[in-house]
């Protein structure tokens, strides 16, 4: 809880704390819900906005610009970001700009324009902004970055719920779901839940093999590729 004893308490929950990625996985929908209570455990007496942020594990990501040279698209400038989330979704009871000011949104990373994407090395602020916008656009195009205003329903200032879709191309790892209660532009309470996304079945076996026996896995992939190429050549020759 953030703030004094008069501030509310958030009691969050998630419909699934474990998501299994198996063969044919087409994505899933998470229901994030909970209650807003006062410190005595009764109904909160004020009007609150709720913002829910679901964030996946972070990793370094390199973004490259394409330029056309002599009729061919080639890589041009690039920027590498140290810790970009592999998934990010924000759902709110109203548009973010009607709930908090830009400073508060930046502090808590409430919304795609306020993601803290730290570049590796020194980079001009204008260039950094361009590549950051490019990364967000690319991830949003794959539905890995989402922003949904009016997606949180609050009933009688006690119960809230939001639905966030995980696409089929999500990365495995630990996802954090942070819920914020906001009153008069100030974050007055927050709470965190977690979701584990993991590979199961055949996909898990392949991933474990690649991680534990990388050399053998690499040689096997090369051998299969060569074998498939030889087989395709033979079939073509027979025709």
pLDDT digits (tens, 9 = 90+) for 172-228: 999 999 999 999 999 999 999 999 999 875 454 555 545 565 565 466 656 666 666
Q: Which CATH superfamily is 9-201 part of? A: Macroglobulin (MG2) domain (2.60.40.1930)
The sign of the CA dihedral 136, 137, 138, 141 is: positive
The reported pTM is: 0.76
Percent of the chain, pLDDT > 90? 50
**pLDDT for 186:** 93
pLDDT tens, position by position, 65-108 = 766 666 666 666 778 888 899 999 999 999 999 999 999 999 99
How far apart, in whole angstroms, are the C-alpha atoms of residue 18 and residue 31? 13
**pLDDT for 131:** 85
The sign of the CA dihedral 179, 185, 186, 188 is: negative
Helix 202-212 to helix 214-238 angle (10° resolution) is: 120
User: Residue 150: is its pLDDT beyond 80?
Assistant: yes
**CB of 60 within 8 A of CB of 81?**
yes
How far apart, in whole angstroms, are the C-alpha atoms of residue 76 and residue 120? 17
- Domain edges within the chain: 9-201, 202-238
**pLDDT for 3:** 47
Half-sphere exposure of 193 (CA within 13 A, CB side): 21
- Residues pairing with 161 in the sheet: 33, 153
- Residue 28's pLDDT band, with cuts at 50, 70 and 90, is very high
**CB of 177 within 8 A of CB of 14?**
yes
Instruction: Indicate the pairing of strand 88-92 with strand 145-148.
Output: parallel
**CB of 10 within 8 A of CB of 191?**
yes
How far apart, in whole angstroms, are the C-alpha atoms of residue 141 and residue 137? 6
DSSP 179: E
**pLDDT for 17:** 93
- Residue 31's pLDDT band, with cuts at 50, 70 and 90, is very high
Question: Would you tell me how many other CB atoms lie within 10 Å of the CB of residue 23?
Answer: 9
> Radius of gyration (Cα) for the chain, nearest Å?
23
In terms of DSSP H, where are the helices of the chain? Answer: 102-108, 125-141, 202-212, 214-238
């Amino acid at each position: 809880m953030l703030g004094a004893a008069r501030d509310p308490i958030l009691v969050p929950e998630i419909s699934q704390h474990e998501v299994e990625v198996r063969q044919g996985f087409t994505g899933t929908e998470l229901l994030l819900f909970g209650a807003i209570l006062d410190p005595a455990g009764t109904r909160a007496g004020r009007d609150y906005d709720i913002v829910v942020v679901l964030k996946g594990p972070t990793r370094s990501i390199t973004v490259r610009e394409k330029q056309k040279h002599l009729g061919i698209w080639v890589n041009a400038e690039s920027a590498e970001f140290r810790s970009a989330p592999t998934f990010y979704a924000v759902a709110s009871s109203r548009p973010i700009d009607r709930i908090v000011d830009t400073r508060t949104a930046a502090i808590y990373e409430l919304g795609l324009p306020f993601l803290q994407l730290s570049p590796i090395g020194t980079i001009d602020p204008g260039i950094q902004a361009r590549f950051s916008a490019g990364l967000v656009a690319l991830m949003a195009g794959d539905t890995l970055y989402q922003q949904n205003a009016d997606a949180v329903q609050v009933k009688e200032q006690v119960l809230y719920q939001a639905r966030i879709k995980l696409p089929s191309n999500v990365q495995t790892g630990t996802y954090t779901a942070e819920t914020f209660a906001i009153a008069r532009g100030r974050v007055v309470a927050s709470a965190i839940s977690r979701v584990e996304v993991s590979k199961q079945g055949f996909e898990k076996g392949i991933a474990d093999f690649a991680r534990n026996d990388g050399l053998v896995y690499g040689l096997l992939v090369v051998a299969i590729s060569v074998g498939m190429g030889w087989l395709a050549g033979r079939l073509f020759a027979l025709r």
